[in-house]
Amino acid sequence: MTEYPSENWRDYELLDCGDGEKLERFGRFTMIRPEPKAIWAKTLSEKEWLDSAHTRFSPGAGFGKAGKEDSGTWERLRKMEDQWHIVYPGLQKGLRFDLRLGLTSFKHVGVFPEQAPNWEFIYRETSKLVKPGAPAPRVLNLFAYTGGASLAAKAAGADVTHLDSVRQVVTWARGNMESSGMDGIRWVVEDAMKFAKREAKRGNLYDGIILDPPAYGHGPDGERWKLDDCLFGLLQNVAQILKPKDSFMVLNLYSNGYSALLGETVVREAFKLKGSDYTLESGELALRDRSGKDLPLSIVVRLTR
């Protein structure tokens, strides 16, 4: 399974990729960013890239080594705003939200566009769980970043808890909620492992859980996170707080060296899945540029039961 954002998303386009970079358009502005997975040659010339780009990110020494992203600098090539907004117009009726973008010192801009198929899945599965007269389905988004997945669940009618260890990112996500005309998301700044363990002790259950863990990271109190060491334990805790029926889970993995089969196996073992009362699917999320080159960027595992 390989999935791509819909071509109907007019505010995002991968124009070209190659030679370790990608040329992308986010709304009105086009930028050049590093992309280690683009190991082939560019289709367009360097002049065509520079003529179309508003800015280019230059990483610091050691960028991308051992899971570390050193800060870098943006070179302004044409006049552009420091912050701007784009709209995600979902393929399903009712799925639509606003995202504020900006140039960060770690090459990120506030959205990972390849995640659009996950937003569609989250909206669809959450919508199935909404029942007239019943409490809203509870969805937990761990490592939630600027909240695209949280907004997809909220748009479908969920009671959403959004957790990230970085307060500034949570503030960014709250702004996205407000500019999308939504409200009521619960915001948590905490270490994901600690939160999941505490929820398990309390016996709290969720109808949907979304995880997008980094390869390396730290909690707000300096808690150490290393994907290889912590993922299985985290999933074991998540298995305790996900409802055993009428529920879903989405696991997204960016770590180099991980495969879809590995992701599927770690989920199967952590949840102790047996029988046939569940569906487990895995694959890749990718972008496709104008010339048809496919750029795989993450692994996804989805559980429904």
Calpha distance 212→150 (Å, rounded):
12
Calpha distance 219→210 (Å, rounded):
18
Mean pLDDT across the stretch 281-304? 97
Helix (H) or strand (E) holding 50: helix 46-52
CB atoms closer than 10 angstroms to residue 222: 7
Q: pLDDT tens, 51-75?
A: 999 999 998 765 444 444 568 999 9
**How confident is the model at residue 64, as a pLDDT?**
47
Does residue 183 fall inside a structural domain? Answer: yes
Calpha distance 269→212 (Å, rounded):
19
pLDDT at 261 over 90: yes
* 28 and 73, same domain (yes or no): yes
Residues with Cβ within 8 Å of residue 179, at least 6 apart in sequence: 85, 98, 100
CB contact at 8 A, 36 and 69: no
Does residue 9 fall inside a structural domain? Answer: yes
Residues with Cβ within 8 Å of residue 38, at least 6 apart in sequence: 17, 18, 19, 20, 21, 22, 295
Domain that holds residue 246: 110-304
**How confident is the model at residue 217, as a pLDDT?**
81
Sheet bearing 2-3, strands edge to edge: 2-3, 279-288, 294-304, 248-253, 208-211, 138-142, 159-164, 186-189
Helix (H) or strand (E) holding 51: helix 46-52
CB contact at 8 A, 86 and 99: yes
Q: pLDDT tens, 116-150?
A: 999 999 999 999 999 999 999 999 999 999 999 99
Does residue 218 fall inside a structural domain? Answer: yes
**How confident is the model at residue 66, as a pLDDT?**
40
Mean pLDDT across the stretch 3-17? 97
* 300 and 191, same domain (yes or no): yes
**How confident is the model at residue 65, as a pLDDT?**
43
CB atoms closer than 10 angstroms to residue 65: 9
pLDDT at 156 over 60: yes
**How confident is the model at residue 62, as a pLDDT?**
54
Return the C-alpha torsion angle 126, 132, 135, 138, nearest 10: 0
Least confident of 21-35, 39-53, 65-79, 165-179: 65-79
Helix (H) or strand (E) holding 98: strand 96-102
* 30 and 169, same domain (yes or no): no
Q: Which of 41, 75, 73 is nearest to 60 (CA)?
A: 73
DSSP codes, 174-222: HHHHHHTT----EEEES-HHHHHHHHHHHT--BSEEEE---SEEE-TT-
* 78 and 132, same domain (yes or no): no
pLDDT at 225 over 90: no
Query: pLDDT confidence of 152, banded at 50, 70, 90?
Result: very high
**How confident is the model at residue 69, as a pLDDT?**
55
Does residue 38 fall inside a structural domain? Answer: yes
pLDDT at 163 over 70: yes
* 11 and 117, same domain (yes or no): no
pLDDT at 255 over 80: no
Q: pLDDT tens, 207-220?
A: 999 999 988 887 88
**How confident is the model at residue 226, as a pLDDT?**
87
Q: Is the torsion defined by CA of 25, 1, 158, 150 positive or negative?
A: negative
**How confident is the model at residue 276, as a pLDDT?**
87
Domain CATH number, residue 167: 3.40.50.150
Mean pLDDT across the stretch 286-303? 97
Domain CATH number, residue 66: 2.60.40.1180
CB atoms closer than 10 angstroms to residue 118: 23
| C-alpha Rg value of the chain to the nearest Å | 19
Mean pLDDT across the stretch 238-263? 94
Number of domains in the chain: 2
pLDDT at 301 over 90: yes
CB contact at 8 A, 27 and 9: no
